[in-house]
């Protein structure tokens, strides 16, 4: 997947931000209302203080009327208190909404991940893109989530600007008396010059500080890599399942030292630390210098006008405060726009992921619920290559499953057995040929409906760190008696007795301290019980007994017919002796079905692959 970083224009970045805001608007509109209210209050509050203090000072420096002073003091206090109260309420509301948004943030990607075609989930490029998005967010908060703070910053900046203009307008309208030696200040060109200078500085200061972001953005790949190392090495030491290997093979130095060696990303001496001391520091200093120059010019202009008699001394505080806030608003606006442009590159990653299309054809037919379980599946001349590879993994496979029969699939490692099952479950579509369900191409069925007819225990199945009963039922609400029966059928009854909270016992200790650790064999039995609980017409077991001890294995086989009942069973195994009870055996060899037949028929063919495999295993049991 191409993931080339190109610098975006403001327009492109703005469009991406709009798209991100639309996503947030759908997910939690409250965050916009609350942020709007809290940002407006945050921006207005300083102006309230600035305005009222100016009135008090003007009165003190002028007529000094006690009743006027009392009025202004009461107004100042009550308005300041009112603003503080409203600001407190709105910012609490905004914090609550932001916390909800934080929670929803991961859902944006999780939902997409779960809705992707399996073929894309399995692709390295998609996985890399997904990790990149997460790392962008982890190291500096870049990505879709960041756009929420842009909204806050923009609203604050706009209100700051409007408030500043409102309170400083009269600075340019009030004239110095004509007989003053400073009357030339009244000339409109002076006002235009001062405003022009302010605007220039307002642009220059953010431009300087935006240079700093360039360094952070350029640092993104290095930082992501550091985060990746951190994620890998820093969690190795806490990984319980790795602990025995780490100790036995003395891998301690592989756990800690590479982390320390390769994770210099944020320490003294790292590229970003050097830049912070050098150019980034200089840009920050320059930005501050420019700001200080502006403040000086504003003070000079306002004080000169006051000195020459254009307004009272109290208005000096008002004008200086208002212009400083106005300048801050302009500066924030431009800085935010610069950040939005920088973040655009990271939004590109996010949208590239969210825009991955579902290419698998989605049919509309339903697989009618048949009580007779009369579902017949046929592979018709199916060939398959994994995406982005040239090698044929399956070649011209044709096979029909007889309803209610037990089919064993055997073959060497890599001969295509698991791939065959993945195609049957429509995790992938065939590259050539077709798979039919009751005579109709499986692509024409609704996908969710189609997969409901299969219960599968994959070779590398996974259980969740949730209560046992929920694992078996795949749901938090379930039929307890049926779950118990399935566990019993899978040979787990005795172990269930020892579980402190029965079906409510948590598996593993990830979520509960009193969770129970289970062995590989026990996990396999639970996975088989889960497949039985689904009670689908097809049951597929990929190496179902690999982790079971011989007694548990024998127990499962002896009850296999009772367990499977009238379902069609497909059974992949390395142990050929365990396939004997199947009605038919398909022998896979280099992606082709080399032989088909019963055990007796296949073993009689001394030139066949089955005979070769059978003898290779049998010698371990007979040549003792
Ligand atoms: P078996 O189950 O018989 O051991 P598999 O079906 O797992 O065989 O694998 C058949 C071939 O397909 C192997 O060569 C394997 O390397 C390749 N293969 C399996 N999964 C993938 C994948 N996701 N991408 C590319 N090649 C794969």
The partner residues of 252 in beta bridges, in order of sequence, read none
Q: Is 136 exposed, middle or buried (0-12, 13-18, 19+ CB in 10 A)?
A: buried
Tell me which of 416, 456, 572 to substitute to probe ligand 1's pocket, judged by most ligand atoms within 8 Å of the beta carbon: 416
With a pLDDT cut of 90, the percent of the chain lying above it is 40
Phi and psi at 454, nearest 5°, equal -120, 135
The span from the CA of 477 to the CA of 480, in Å, is 9
Q: Looking up tokens 């309803």, which residue turns up?
A: 403
> Could you tell me the end-to-end alpha-carbon distance of the chain, in angstroms, rounded to an integer?
55
The span from the CA of 90 to the CA of 56, in Å, is 29
Q: Give residue 585's pLDDT.
A: 92
| Beta-carbon contacts of residue 265 (< 8 Å; ≥ 6 apart) | 222, 223, 225, 226, 227, 272
Looking from the CA of residue 591, the nearest atom of ligand 1 is: 10
Between strands 584-589 and 377-385, the pairing is unpaired
Average pLDDT over residues 431-448: 93
Token digits for 333? 């606006």
Token digits for 177? 């008396």
The span from the CA of 182 to the CA of 190, in Å, is 12
Q: Give residue 1's pLDDT.
A: 45
Tell me which of 414, 415, 573 to substitute to probe ligand 1's pocket, judged by most ligand atoms within 8 Å of the beta carbon: 414
The partner residues of 7 in beta bridges, in order of sequence, read none
In whole angstroms, what separates CA 389 from the centre of its chain?
A: 28
pLDDT above 60: residue 65: yes
pLDDT in tens, 550-603: 776 777 666 677 778 788 889 888 777 777 778 899 999 999 999 999 988 998
Ligand 1, pocket residues at CB < 6 Å: 122, 386, 389, 393, 411, 413-419
Looking from the CA of residue 459, the nearest atom of ligand 1 is: 2
Taking a C-beta distance cutoff of 8 angstroms, is the pair 186, 66 a contact?
no
Nearest-5° angle of CA 378, CA 384, CA 389? 165
pLDDT above 90: residue 226: no
pLDDT in tens, 295-314: 898 889 999 988 888 888 88
Tell me which of 125, 393, 409 to substitute to probe ligand 1's pocket, judged by most ligand atoms within 8 Å of the beta carbon: 393
Token digits for 132? 């990149």
pLDDT in tens, 191-220: 899 889 888 888 888 888 888 888 888 888
Of the candidate ranges 187-196, 385-394, 485-494, 538-547, the one whose mean pLDDT is the lowest: 538-547
Q: What is the 3-state secondary structure (H, E, C) of 344-374?
A: HHHHHHHHHHHCCCCCCCCCCECCCCCCCCC
Token digits for 314? 């109290």
The span from the CA of 512 to the CA of 492, in Å, is 22
Q: How far is the CA of 542 from the centre of ligand 1 (A)?
A: 14
pLDDT above 80: residue 423: yes
Q: Is 207 exposed, middle or buried (0-12, 13-18, 19+ CB in 10 A)?
A: middle
Handedness of CA 472, 474, 475, 479 (dihedral sign): negative
Q: How far is the CA of 236 from the centre of ligand 1 (A)?
A: 28
Q: What is the largest CA-CA distance in the chain?
A: 124
Q: Give residue 622's pLDDT.
A: 52
The span from the CA of 234 to the CA of 256, in Å, is 7
The span from the CA of 227 to the CA of 263, in Å, is 8
Q: Give residue 176's pLDDT.
A: 86
The span from the CA of 353 to the CA of 116, in Å, is 10
pLDDT band at 369 (very low <50, low <70, confident <90, very high): low
Q: How far is the CA of 120 from the centre of ligand 1 (A)?
A: 16
| Beta-carbon contacts of residue 152 (< 8 Å; ≥ 6 apart) | 35, 38, 39, 94
Q: What is the DSSP letter of 63?
A: T
pLDDT band at 623 (very low <50, low <70, confident <90, very high): very low
CA-nearest residue for atom 24, ligand 1, is: 386
pLDDT above 80: residue 462: yes
pLDDT above 90: residue 94: yes
Q: How far is the CA of 413 from the centre of ligand 1 (A)?
A: 9
The span from the CA of 168 to the CA of 51, in Å, is 10
3-state secondary structure of 544: coil
pLDDT in tens, 154-186: 999 999 999 999 989 888 888 888 888 888 888
The span from the CA of 156 to the CA of 332, in Å, is 8
pLDDT above 90: residue 500: no
Token digits for 529? 């019980």
* Residue 624: HSE in the Cβ half-sphere, 13 Å Cα cutoff: 5
3-state secondary structure of 589: strand
Looking from the CA of residue 421, the nearest atom of ligand 1 is: 6
Average pLDDT in the chain: 87
The span from the CA of 239 to the CA of 252, in Å, is 13
Taking a C-beta distance cutoff of 8 angstroms, is the pair 609, 460 a contact?
no
Q: Taking Cα atoms as reference points, which of 450, 429, 447, 445 lies closest to residue 383?
A: 429
The span from the CA of 224 to the CA of 140, in Å, is 10
Helices 480-489 and 520-534: crossing angle in degrees, nearest 10, is 130
pLDDT above 80: residue 545: no
pLDDT above 90: residue 260: no
Report which of residues 616 and 530 the model is more confident about.
Answer: 530
The span from the CA of 518 to the CA of 515, in Å, is 10
Name the strand (E) or helix (H) holding 397. Answer: strand 392-400
| Beta-carbon contacts of residue 206 (< 8 Å; ≥ 6 apart) | 287, 331, 334, 335, 338
């Amino acid at each position: 997947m191409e993931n080339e970083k190109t610098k975006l224009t403001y327009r492109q970045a703005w469009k991406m931000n709009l798209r991100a805001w639309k996503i947030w608007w759908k997910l939690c509109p409250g965050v916009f209302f609350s942020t709007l209210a809290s940002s407006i209050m945050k921006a207005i509050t300083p102006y309230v203080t600035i305005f009222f203090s100016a009135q008090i000072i003007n009165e003190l420096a002028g007529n000094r009327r006690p009743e006027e002073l009392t009025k202004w003091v009461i107004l100042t206090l009550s308005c300041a208190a009112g603003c503080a109260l409203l600001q407190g309420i709105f910012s609490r509301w905004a914090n609550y909404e932001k916390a909800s948004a934080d929670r929803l943030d991961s859902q944006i990607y999780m939902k997409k991940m779960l809705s992707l075609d399996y073929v894309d989930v399995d692709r390295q490029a998609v996985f890399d893109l997904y990790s990149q998005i997460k790392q962008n967010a982890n190291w500096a908060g870049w990505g879709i989530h960041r756009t929420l703070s842009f909204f806050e910053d923009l609203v604050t900046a706009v209100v700051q600007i409007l408030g500043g203009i409102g309170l400083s307008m009269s600075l340019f309208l009030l004239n110095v008396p004509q007989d003053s030696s400073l009357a030339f200040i009244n000339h409109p060109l002076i006002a235009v010059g001062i405003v022009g200078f302010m605007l220039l500085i307002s642009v220059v200061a953010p431009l300087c500080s935006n240079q700093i972001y360039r360094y952070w953005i350029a640092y993104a790949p290095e930082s992501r890599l550091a985060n990746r190392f951190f994620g890998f090495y820093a969690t190795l030491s806490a990984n319980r399942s790795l602990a025995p290997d780490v100790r036995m093979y003395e891998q301690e130095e592989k756990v800690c030292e590479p982390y320390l060696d390769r994770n210099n990303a944020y320490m003294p001496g790292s590229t970003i630390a050097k830049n912070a001391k050098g150019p980034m520091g200089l840009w920050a200093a320059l930005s501050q210098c420019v700001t200080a120059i502006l403040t000086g010019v504003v003070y000079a202009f306002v004080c000169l006008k006051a000195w020459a008699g254009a307004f009272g001394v109290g208005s000096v505080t008002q004008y200086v405060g208002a212009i400083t806030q106005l300048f801050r608003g302009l500066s924030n606006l431009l800085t935010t726009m610069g950040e939005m442009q920088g973040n655009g590159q990271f939004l590109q990653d996010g949208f590239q992921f969210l825009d991955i299309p579902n290419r698998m054809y989605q049919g509309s037919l339903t697989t009618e619920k048949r009580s007779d379980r009369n579902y017949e599946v046929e592979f018709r001349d199916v060939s398959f290559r994994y995406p982005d590879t040239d090698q044929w993994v399956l070649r011209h496979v044709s096979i029909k499953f007889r309803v209610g029969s037990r089919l064993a699939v055997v073959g060497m490692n890599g001969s295509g057995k698991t791939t065959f099952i993945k195609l049957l479950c429509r995790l992938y579509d065939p590259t050539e040929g077709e798979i039919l369900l009751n005579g109709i191409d499986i692509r024409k069925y609704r996908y969710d409906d189609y997969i409901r007819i299969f219960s599968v225990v994959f070779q590398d199945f996974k259980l969740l760190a949730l209560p046992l009963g929920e694992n078996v039922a795949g749901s938090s609400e379930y039929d307890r008696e049926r779950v118990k029966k399935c566990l019993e059928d899978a040979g787990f009854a005795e172990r269930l007795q020892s579980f402190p909270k029965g079906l409510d016992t948590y598996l593993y200790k990830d979520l509960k301290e009193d969770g129970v650790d289970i062995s590989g064999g026990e996990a396999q039995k639970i996975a088989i019980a889960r497949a039985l609980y689904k009670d689908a017409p097809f049951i597929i077991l990929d190496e179902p007994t690999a982790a079971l001890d011989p007694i548990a294995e024998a127990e499962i086989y002896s009850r296999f017919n009772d367990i499977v009942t009238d379902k069609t069973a497909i059974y992949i195994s390395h142990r050929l002796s365990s396939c004997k009870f199947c009605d038919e055996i398909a022998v896979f060899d280099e992606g082709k079905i080399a032989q088909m037949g019963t055990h007796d028929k296949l073993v009689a063919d001394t030139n066949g692959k089955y005979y070769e495999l059978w003898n290779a295993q049998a010698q371990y049991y007979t040549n003792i």
